[in-house]
Structures are given as C-alpha cells and as structure tokens.
Amino acid sequence: MLQLKDIQWTTETGEKILNGINLTVPDGKLTVITGPNGGGKTSLAKIIAGLYKPCGGQILIDDKEITDLSITERSKNGMAYAFQQPVRFKGLTVRNLLEISAERTLSKNEICEMLGEVGLCGREYMDREVDASLSGGESKRIEIATVLARKDAKLLVFDEPEAGIDLWSFTSLIDAFEKIKQDSTRSLLIISHQERIMNIADHIAVVADGRVTKTGTRDEVFPSLIDKTSATRCSLRNN
C-alpha cells in the first residue's frame, strides 16, 4: 500500500505546486489521479517516483518510509515507473531493455507477448535500438512494456500512458491494465485525463490547485467528472 502524507513541493523559483497531498493507494487496485492541467498531477507522480524530493511530508510503501530513497532504491522496494516522456538508450535494443526489466533472459515468445500487450509486433521490434529512430508513440509503448515486464513490482506508476499512442494500441493498453487488475498482489497508479482509463478504475482522486479535492470509488467520483466535461463542451459549443 502506498501512502502519501501531507506532501508539499515548491519549485526553485518559489512557486507552490503541492499544498499538502494526502492519498492512499490500496493494494491490488487501480487508482487514477486526474484533474485540470497545472493542478500538480505530474509533479506528484515525479515525487512518487523519486525524481523530485518533497519539501515536506512522507511517502510510505507498506508502512516503510521511502521519502528520501533514490529511484533505484524505490525500485528495489517494489515500485516501477513509466515516464510521460520516455528516455532513449542508444546502443540498447528493445530485447535488452525488456530483459533488464524482467531481470532474466526472455524467449522470443515472451517478448512478443509483452510487446503485443502494448500493440507492437515483437518480431519487428525486439532487435531495434531504443534510439531516435523510434517515433514518440513507439518509444512510449516500449517503455510501458518494460514496466509490465517487472513481475516483481508491487506498485506500477504510469504518467499519462495514453500520450502519443494511437487508438488501436490504446485499446491494447486498456486490456493490459484490466489484466493486471486481476492480480491482487499488484497495484496500479495512473495519472490520466482519459475517460476510458477512469472508467476501469477502482478509485479516483482529483488533484487541483495542489490538493486532493475529491477522492472515492469510481462510482462515487467518475459520474461527476463526466457531467463537468459535458457541461464544458456544451458551453464551448454555445460560445
């Protein structure tokens, strides 16, 4: 279980981004963090991953504090993180990357299955380098596959996984998330605006102005978000 207690973060220029985030991500569930742009969602994701260090508060996994741990140390404690903008690795193949994540040698069939979950043909991609020759969408899907390959990870964190992915691949991704949900030993935390992702969530937390403004089950939170979206669209059309 991931617990965020009074998380605060201020930029180097003094801008207050997070103003006391309190949130629990339960075991074996899919939790979605959503909210307006600029509300602090991505900053919070980077703090969870260890890319940013909070100015105050605590982060705990299974009651163990990880607030000051590095990305590597958090990984050893069962966390896997997919960046919003994937990192390129010149000289490293897709096969290499998946095997590093899985921490073992993978068969061609296993690689095909992992890449197939994110809408890529394994035989076409396994020997390609993870460099600038890949499109943004291809790179994003490969990184998501590396996170899914981390079978030892208890908490999988995805920052806007839908970004740069075509509709067909996104459908495959939804299927992969639903498959992970069936494993009660793993938790999913997804930062997303996408209605289809929120629709399969167990819990939804809305972050705005650096705070959690609403949290609850999908049935408690999702309908109100859809109503607001519909009202905004109607207003834009009328204007």
| Residue 218 confidence class, pLDDT cut points 50, 70, 90 | very high
Question: Has residue 57 got a pLDDT over 80?
Answer: yes
Average of pLDDT values for 16-26?
Answer: 94
**Beta pairing, strands 211-217 & 203-208:** antiparallel
Write out the DSSP string of 7-42: EEEE-TTS-EEEEEEEEEE-TT-EEEEE--TTSSHH
Specify the residue for token string 């020997």. Answer: 127
Mean of pLDDT over the chain: 86
Indicate the pLDDT class of residue 149, thresholds 50, 70 and 90: confident
Global pTM value: 0.84
Whether pLDDT at 17 is above 60? yes
pLDDT beyond 50 at 11: yes
Nearest to 160 by CA among 43, 53, 73: 43
Query: What CA–CA distance (Å, rounded) separates 239 from 209?
Result: 26
Ranges of H-type helices in the chain = 41-49, 71-76, 94-102, 108-116, 122-125, 136-148, 167-181, 195-199, 218-238
pLDDT at position 42 is 87
Read off the pLDDT of residues 124-141 as tens digits, 9 standing for 90 and up: 999 998 888 888 778 878
* Residue corresponding to tokens 């291809």: 138
pLDDT of residue 106: 93
Phi, psi of 63 (to 5 degrees): 70, 5
Q: Provide the 8-state DSSP code for 166.
A: -
pLDDT of the residue at 148: 83
What secondary structure letter does DSSP report for 3? Answer: E
- Pull the structure tokens for residue 208: 């705005």
Is a pLDDT exceeding 60 seen at residue 23?
yes
Residue 215 has pLDDT above 70, yes or no: yes
Is 117's pLDDT higher than 90? Answer: no
Confidence of residue 230 (pLDDT cuts 50, 70, 90): very low
Kindly state the average pLDDT of the residues 157-164.
83
